[in-house]
Amino acid sequence: MIPISITVNGKVRKAQVEPRTLLVHFLREQLHLTGAHVGCDTSQCGACTVLVDGRSAKSCTIFAVQADGSQVVTIEGLANGDELHPLQTGFWEEHGLQCGYCTPGMIMSAVNLLGDNPQPSEQEIREGISGNFCRCTGYQHIVNSIQHAAKLGPPKGGYVPSGGPASAFAASAASADKKAGAR
């Protein structure tokens, strides 16, 4: 077992994990934060998306030990107390879900999308959520929900909740993105 310390939704969580424990399983099974869903376990569906140091990441592709020292935000940490995040309001107002299985991951990906581009075109929205699958809605209501959030504008502090200081994981992910030519 390996000791880790991860700040999750603003709270430092220390734990012992097996080296093979995936971040999504750590969140769901050890912290009981079940908003991040497991839809495939093969990094395809995006249902497990959370923010790691302010960037959306599929938490089934990260070992919990890799996130040691990171700031993780899950859907449970997105609202500011009783005040919904604009994306949560958008999904509520525009009926951006049916079964809801994809919704937490879809919203967390959209957080990054609006953080990077607060006024995206419809095409940019569709590209921004292309790593997240929805089997119910046909996507149009999801697009409408994100457009609704963009019209509402960012909450105080911006669309992306404060991630705190960047960790070694974020630095290595950023460098991998750079090498891959990602934006």
* Shortest Å, Cβ 133 to ligand FES: 7
Q: Which residues bind ligand FES (CB under 6 A)?
A: 38-41, 43-48, 58, 60, 97-102, 134-137
| The residue type at 86 | P
88, 107 in Cβ contact below 8 A?
A: yes
**Would you say 136 or 160 has its CB closer to ligand FES?**
136
CB of 101 to ligand FES, least distance (A): 4
The nearer residue to ligand FES, 139 or 164, going by C-beta atoms, is 139
Closest separation in Å from C-beta 156 to ligand FES: 29
Q: State the alpha helices, DSSP H only, in the chain.
A: 23-25, 86-93, 103-116, 122-128, 140-152, 168-179
| H or E, element range at 174 | helix 168-179
Between residues 109 and 155, which has the closer beta carbon with respect to ligand FES?
109
Q: Which is nearer to ligand FES, 111 or 155 (CB)?
A: 111
> What is the Rg, in whole angstroms, of the alpha carbon atoms belonging to the chain?
16
Angle at the Cα of 58 from the Cα atoms of 122 and 161, rounded to 5 degrees:
70
Crossing angle between the packed helical segments 103-116 and 140-152, to the nearest 10 degrees: 50
Nearest distance from C-beta of residue 24 to ligand FES, angstroms? 6
